[in-house]
């Protein structure tokens, strides 16, 4: 199952979405905000603001970073 991650427009914390269909209610477990997905947008019920899903999108869990491909850079005192 693909899990979509968005950032809550109220508090900025990650919110997992397991089902994304018209009218689904999304609750932020950190700040308690209620959001509704409608017409491709996220409606923040508290303020009636609309946000594009793409603007809030974090990542999909299946596409999470692959640690083998991630490069890490370490600096030594000599490089400064």
**pTM of this prediction?**
0.65
All structural domains of the chain with their residue ranges? 4-79
Go through 49-72 and write b for each residue having 16 or more CB atoms within 10 A of its CB, e for each that does not: eeeeeeebeeeeeeeeeeeeeeee
Reported as a single tens digit per residue, the pLDDT across 20-75 is 899 999 999 999 999 999 988 999 999 999 999 888 887 665 544 555 555 566 66
Q: How far apart are CA 5 and CA 54, in angstroms?
A: 11
Q: What is the pLDDT of residue 71?
A: 58
């Amino acid at each position: 199952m693909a899990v979509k991650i968005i950032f809550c427009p109220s508090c900025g914390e990650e919110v997992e979405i397991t089902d994304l269909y018209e009218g689904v209610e999304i609750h932020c477990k950190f700040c308690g905000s209620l959001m509704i997905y409608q017409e491709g947008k996220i409606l923040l019920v508290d303020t009636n603001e609309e946000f594009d899903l793409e603007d809030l999108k974090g990542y999909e869990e299946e596409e999470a970073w692959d640690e083998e491909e991630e490069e890490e850079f370490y600096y030594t005192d000599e490089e400064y």
